[in-house]
Amino acid sequence: MQGLLKLANIPFVGAGVLGSAVGMDKDVMKRLLRDAGLPIGKFVTILATKRNAHTFAELTAYLGAPLFIKPANMGSSVGVHRVENDDQFQTALDDAFKYDTKVIIEEFIEGREIECAVLGNDEPKASVPGEIIPTINSILTKRNTSMPTARVYKSRRIARGTCC
C-alpha cells in the first residue's frame, strides 16, 4: 500500500515502503536486527521447497520446546502455532504454509511482552509503553495450542525507567 501511495504522490501516515516491507517479513526483520547486534530469539527459516529439511527432533534440539511456527509474511496471529510434539509440528507446518511459502520456527521465550511506539524522524518521541496481557481464555496451555486472539493492554504495571 505504501508503495502505491508513494508512486501516486499521495501523502500518508505511517511507515515508509522499506520499513513496512521489513516489518512484514519476520525472517528479513530478524536477520537485520541480529546483524545490527540486537539480541533476538533463536529461529530457523524454512522455505516451502525445503519443508522436509528439518525434523521436529532436530529443531527442538536446537531451539528447545515448545516451538512457535508462523508464516514469515502474515500478521501476528494468523497461522501461528505453539508446538510441543511431532504431530502438532506437521499440522502447524501445513497450516503456516497455507499463508506463505516461507515459515519461521522460533524458540519459546518466557517473559512479559511490552510494546512502545516511536513516532518521528529527526526528533523521535516514544509513546507510553503498554504490556500485552492475554485474557484468561486465551492463555497458551498444553491443551490450547492456538495463539491468543484477545488481548488486554495496560501500562500501569510497567515500572518507571524499565522501558523506552
- What's 53's domain CATH number? 3.30.1490.20
Instruction: Look at the block and give the residue holding cell 514469515.
Output: 72
- Same domain? 88 vs 141: no
- Supply the range of the domain harboring residue 22: 2-110
Average pLDDT over residues 58-80: 91
Kindly report the CA angle at 155 between 113 and 153, in degrees rounded to 5? 65
Task: Give the percent of the chain with pLDDT over 90.
Answer: 48
Name the domain boundary from 110, 125, 142: 110
Residue 138 has pLDDT above 80, yes or no: no
Instruction: Please tell me the predicted confidence (pLDDT) of residue 113.
Output: 81
Instruction: Look at the block and give the residue holding cell 530469539.
Output: 41
- Look over the chain and give the mean of its residue pLDDT values, rounded to a whole number: 83
- Same domain? 117 vs 104: no
- Same domain? 164 vs 128: yes
- Same domain? 22 vs 35: yes
Number of domains in the chain: 2
